[in-house]
Amino acid sequence: MNHTPKTKRPLGLTRAHQQVKKLTSLRQEQRDTRQYAEAWYQALRGWQVIYPTVTTPSISYAAFRASGSVETLTSGEVSPFLPTYLSTPSGELSEAQVARAITEMTLSRIPGTVQLGRMLDRLRHQDNGSMESLLRGTAWSQHKERALRYAVAVLTLAVRLDDVEAERPLQQVTTELSQTKVVNAVQNC
């Protein structure tokens, strides 16, 4: 007979506890994904532009007036173009950079990317075709497939803008959207 010693489980780590912990962490990750997509969605929907503060030096013209010079100095009146920024979940991004990324998506040769770009363009211009929110409470909106499509669009843009934190949520939302399409296709048969 082979007598292998039985190892005891650590206290509090039964299989049921492990399953509950795994499911709870999965639900939390899904909630975090939805919240992150919603944050990007609202940032683009609101399109709140941040203007940089311009400091102009105070200059005394007394020396020029005393010398009898009649030329007007325009120091600081013609300042260089200062970029504007958008407040996003990944920080402040150049408004031009975000707009350029959306335009590149709409001009893409890939039909799916063009569709995402058009959705983002409608969102940016606050078209009535966009949704008020992707969420209803902490779950997806009642128009789940549409909310998922917008989530894919905003998270795709976020990844294109080098938001590393958007990569995992984009994968999750893309997977969930493909599963939703399959379920809808089966229900429509």
Per-residue pLDDT tens for 105-162? 999 999 999 999 999 999 988 777 778 999 998 899 899 999 999 999 999 999 999 9
Residues 6+ apart with CB under 8 A from 182: none
Q: What is the pTM of this model?
A: 0.74
If one counts every other C-beta atom within 10 angstroms of the C-beta of residue 116, the result is: 23
Which residues are 94's β-sheet partners?
A: 85
CA–CA dist 71, 102 (Å, integer): 47
Neighbours of 172 (CB within 10 A): 19
Query: Between the CA of residue 92 and those of 32, 43, 96, 123, what are the distances in Å?
Result: 21, 11, 12, 19
Query: What are the tens digits of pLDDT across the range 40-99?
Result: 999 999 888 888 776 666 666 666 666 555 555 555 555 567 788 999 999 999 999 999
Q: Are 112 and 174 in contact (CB under 8 A)?
A: no
For residue 28, what are the CA distances in angstroms to 22, 31, 35, 41, 59? Answer: 10, 5, 10, 20, 57
Instruction: Give the per-residue pLDDT at 186.
Output: 54
Q: Return d(Cα 99, Cα 121) in angstroms, integer.
A: 9
